[in-house]
Amino acid sequence: ADEGMWLPYLLGQQTYADMVKKGLKLSKEQLYSINKSSMKDAIIIFGGGCTGEIVSNEGLIFTNHHCGYAAIASASSVENNYLRDGFYAKNKQEEIPSKALSVQFLVRIEDVTAKVEEVLKGVSLNERAAKLQGVYGEIITAATSGNGYEARVIPMFRGNQYILFVYERYKDIRLVGTPPENVGKFGGDTDNWEWPRHTGDFSVFRVYAGKDGKPAEFAKDNVPLKPKHFLPVSIKGVKENDYAMIFGYPGGTNRYETSLGVKLKTDVENPSIVSLRDIRLKYMFEEMKKDPAVKLQLASSYAGIANYWKFFDGESKQLLKYHVYEEKQKQEATFQQWAKGKPEFENVFPQYEKAYKAWAPYTKVRIYLMEGILGSPLAAYASSLGAVENAILKKGDVKAAVAAADAARTNFLKEENKASDQKIMAITAQMFYDDIPKDQHPIGFYESLKSFGDLGDEKTYRTWAANVFANTMILNDAKWKAFTGNPDATVLQDDPAYAYASAFVKNYVGKYLPLFNQFTTENNDLGRLYLKGEMQRQPTANRYPDANFTMRLSYGQVKPYKPRDAVAYDYVTTIDGVMEKYKPGDYEFDLHQDFIGLVKKKDFGQYIDAKRNTLVVNFITTNDITGGNSGSPVINGNGELIGLAFDGNYEALSHKIQFDKNLNRTICVDVRYVLWCIDKLGGAKNIINELKIVK
């Protein structure tokens, strides 16, 4: 019942009325207003793909631990291991600048559909992309000239509407606090995407501005941002059926995906991605376990790969279990029935079939390149040297290309773990050989590999990879210096890492990328037509556009669920459950002694749940969210923060394609647990004192 990721600036009367019925006490203007400060001003894009919220008048930010993860890991060292042990700045001087982070505030939005469609009139399918880029560019330039803003034009409803989003980006972001990883990621990948959950998935940052309040590059004397709005925090706790609203940036859904797309996903795409990630994770983990320095080095990359490894596996299982393919076929039959005799729509599905038929045989070669061959960090970096080769051969700016490659190499080397990477390179080359039809292999590569042994033998690939790692100039400072001092195409082409990566990339770019682009173009346009048709077929339906990393509002309620026959899940978990899961010395379920001590003393302070006489850790709601919403505020009917959204449940992992109204839940960390961790566990009263706490 709580399906929908609504555009807060286009909140329909019907949707708003339903929100009020469920418990919202605020006006539309208080949620979103262009002229006055409103709730939307407290919601930010955090980093590259998360949400955060402002919780004090000094620019304090709450987001998830897994959103701050890369920044926390890179602020850590084996001596000062904040990732492992946690960290709280006791004053502003102790905060740690996070150079790779920025946050974005939404300034304004504008419907630019008319302008865009004007330009697309009479344009053929294959010219569309270029025309779109052109008109987007004009619109963006007009929106950003002279004000320092950034802007993006985003198609909605699969290109049936175009909206301009203008943002203000702040770049001086500092780490204020984080719980230890065994709280912030308690349960690790075993518990990821699962309820019941017991994770303190939060971290704390602050946004700084120049003295004029405007965005500024990092500088010691920048000042905390005075926000237009910040969220008060309620420690009254949650009850079943309580209203819950989530503002944030869901990254992507595909709710109008076709049966053909679902089938390709479950048959080919997801299983391929999962098996390639599985093996990469295995080799990374072996090294991370051995050495805390390697753990810090690979932690963030590992977490990202693991998160969607489990997601894609679960997604396939749920799509099959709920017969989503068959369901989609039924919907498509209804559409086709309606489309009969309507020239604009009657060929949509026959054309979809043609498009899928043309592309499907090559799906795997694309995935085995992206997730396999280039899943080796060395191969991925080597492939980027294609820009240098191009510059040399085409007499471009070789100096600039080399300088860029040199800077990128420094970053690459910081994260390079040779032991795992060498194994990954060997195994992915072998998997490509075994699983991809021979006529799709790069010409000559496997032939040349035969000098290392039999192609059916794992050892052959290991020996070859060892040879690559021993001889590539990328991993040899002297050779690299010689090359960059005198860039020569033959030297580059003869480099074993470059030769390997570029053989596979050129094979793909030459033969399969054009087919993929054609498929994407057709698939997008058919998607636009399909949805346009659906809007005509059912003109009064209350529709929301697919998620696309623009600000959305989702509302729902705190609610338990029944995952399967005879099993009922409560809507909260407590600290008692954390202790039940606790396994001393375990990689995912360990706890520090001070944590255990506090729990034994039942030192829960004002954060205790009076009814349960214990500390509530996580709760679930019926909200419709997805990846990108991570870190989003969960807000009660009065506009107060009650938790942070951080995950979805396993039973609803098909949610990107189909929302299940009985089983879909959003997993949230209770803000009382967040504050307990900061206050009692972290002793950071300074942070608590900054908040506006509603009791």
Residues carrying an active site annotation: 66, 201, 630
Q: Note whether 443 and 455 are within 8 A (CB).
A: no
Between CA 568 and CA 661 the distance in angstroms is 16
Bridge partners (DSSP) listed for residue 111: 163
Taking residue 14's Cβ as centre, other Cβ atoms within 10 Å add up to 10
Q: Which is nearer to ligand ARG, 185 or 665 (CB)?
A: 185
Phi, psi (5° rounding) for residue 11?
-65, 115
Q: Which is nearer to ligand ARG, 53 or 189 (CB)?
A: 189
Window of 28-36, 37-45, 185-193, 633-641 that interacts with ligand ARG by CB under 6 A: 185-193
Phi, psi (5° rounding) for residue 565?
-50, 130
Bridge partners (DSSP) listed for residue 204: 62, 177
Q: Which is nearer to ligand ARG, 159 or 184 (CB)?
A: 184
| Binding flag, residue 192, ligand ARG (CB under 6 A) | yes
| Binding flag, residue 627, ligand ARG (CB under 6 A) | yes
Residue 204 beta carbon to ligand ARG: minimum distance, rounded to whole angstroms: 17
| Among residues 9, 38, 52, 66, the one that binds ligand ARG under rule CB under 6 A | 66
Q: With DSSP H G I counted as helix, E B as strand and the rest as coil, what are the percentages for the chain, rounded to 5?
A: 50, 15, 35
| Binding flag, residue 630, ligand ARG (CB under 6 A) | yes
Window of 32-40, 183-191, 409-417, 497-505 that interacts with ligand ARG by CB under 6 A: 183-191
CB contact set of 275 (below 8 Å; sequence gap of 6+): 431
Window of 74-82, 160-168, 187-195, 535-543 that interacts with ligand ARG by CB under 6 A: 187-195
The count of residues interacting with ligand ARG (CB under 6 A) is 12
Q: Which is nearer to ligand ARG, 193 or 571 (CB)?
A: 193
Which residue's structure tokens are 């290392």? 452
Give the strand pairing for 693-694 and 233-234.
parallel
Report residue 225 as tokens. Answer: 């941002």
Residue 669 beta carbon to ligand ARG: minimum distance, rounded to whole angstroms: 11
Q: Which is nearer to ligand ARG, 311 or 504 (CB)?
A: 311
Residue 631 beta carbon to ligand ARG: minimum distance, rounded to whole angstroms: 9
| Binding flag, residue 651, ligand ARG (CB under 6 A) | no
How many CA atoms lie within 13 Å of 374's alpha carbon, on the beta-carbon side? 19
Q: Which is nearer to ligand ARG, 151 or 204 (CB)?
A: 204
Between CA 137 and CA 612 the distance in angstroms is 56
Residues in contact with ligand ARG, shown as a per-residue x/- string from 139 to 178 under the rule CB under 6 A: ----------------------------------------
Q: Note whether 412 and 377 are within 8 A (CB).
A: yes
| Among residues 307, 363, 430, 502, the one that binds ligand ARG under rule CB under 6 A | 307
Window of 171-179, 188-196, 288-296, 543-551 that interacts with ligand ARG by CB under 6 A: 188-196
For 554, the 3-state DSSP assignment is strand
Q: Which is nearer to ligand ARG, 189 or 522 (CB)?
A: 189
| Binding flag, residue 52, ligand ARG (CB under 6 A) | no
Window of 170-178, 250-258, 300-308, 480-488 that interacts with ligand ARG by CB under 6 A: 300-308
Q: Which is nearer to ligand ARG, 288 or 306 (CB)?
A: 306
Window of 262-270, 303-311, 360-368, 633-641 that interacts with ligand ARG by CB under 6 A: 303-311
Residue 636 beta carbon to ligand ARG: minimum distance, rounded to whole angstroms: 22
Q: Note whether 200 and 673 are within 8 A (CB).
A: yes
Give the strand pairing for 616-621 and 572-574.
antiparallel
Residue 666 beta carbon to ligand ARG: minimum distance, rounded to whole angstroms: 10
8-state DSSP, 231: -
Residue 320 beta carbon to ligand ARG: minimum distance, rounded to whole angstroms: 21
Residue 297 beta carbon to ligand ARG: minimum distance, rounded to whole angstroms: 17
| Among residues 189, 194, 495, 522, the one that binds ligand ARG under rule CB under 6 A | 189
| Binding flag, residue 364, ligand ARG (CB under 6 A) | no
Between CA 163 and CA 111 the distance in angstroms is 5
Please give the angle made by the CA atoms of 450, 454 and 455, to the nearest 5 degrees.
Answer: 80
The alpha-helical segments, DSSP class H, found in 322-362 are 324-339, 348-359
- What separation, in Å, do the N-terminal and C-terminal C-alpha atoms of the chain show? 31
| Binding flag, residue 97, ligand ARG (CB under 6 A) | no
Between CA 477 and CA 486 the distance in angstroms is 14
Residue 5 beta carbon to ligand ARG: minimum distance, rounded to whole angstroms: 15
Window of 82-90, 159-167, 181-189, 457-465 that interacts with ligand ARG by CB under 6 A: 181-189
| Among residues 22, 158, 171, 185, the one that binds ligand ARG under rule CB under 6 A | 185
Q: Give me the amino acid identity at 102.
A: S
| Among residues 157, 170, 193, 571, the one that binds ligand ARG under rule CB under 6 A | 193
8-state DSSP, 185: T
| Binding flag, residue 188, ligand ARG (CB under 6 A) | yes
| Binding flag, residue 315, ligand ARG (CB under 6 A) | no
Q: Which of residues 334-363 bind ligand ARG (CB under 6 A)?
A: none
Between CA 52 and CA 551 the distance in angstroms is 12
Residue 187 beta carbon to ligand ARG: minimum distance, rounded to whole angstroms: 7
Q: Which is nearer to ligand ARG, 189 or 690 (CB)?
A: 189
How many CA atoms lie within 13 Å of 456's alpha carbon, on the beta-carbon side? 0
Q: Which is nearer to ligand ARG, 555 or 650 (CB)?
A: 650
Q: Which is nearer to ligand ARG, 23 or 49 (CB)?
A: 49
Q: Which is nearer to ligand ARG, 306 or 497 (CB)?
A: 306
Bridge partners (DSSP) listed for residue 165: 109, 152
Window of 84-92, 124-132, 301-309, 592-600 that interacts with ligand ARG by CB under 6 A: 301-309
Burial of 509 (0-12, 13-18, 19+ CB in 10 A): middle
Bridge partners (DSSP) listed for residue 246: 554, 634
The alpha-helical segments, DSSP class H, found in 291-397 are 292-321, 324-339, 348-359, 363-367, 377-384, 386-393
Report residue 474 as tokens. Answer: 């990328």
| Binding flag, residue 249, ligand ARG (CB under 6 A) | no
Q: Note whether 629 and 63 are within 8 A (CB).
A: no
| Binding flag, residue 303, ligand ARG (CB under 6 A) | yes
Between CA 75 and CA 82 the distance in angstroms is 7
| Among residues 95, 421, 609, 647, the one that binds ligand ARG under rule CB under 6 A | 647
Bridge partners (DSSP) listed for residue 567: 564
| Binding flag, residue 49, ligand ARG (CB under 6 A) | no
Q: How many residues does the chain have?
A: 695
Residue 285 beta carbon to ligand ARG: minimum distance, rounded to whole angstroms: 13
Q: Note whether 561 and 196 are within 8 A (CB).
A: no
Between CA 363 and CA 263 the distance in angstroms is 12
Interface residues with ligand ARG (CB under 6 A)?
Answer: 66, 185, 188-189, 192-193, 303, 306-307, 627, 630, 647
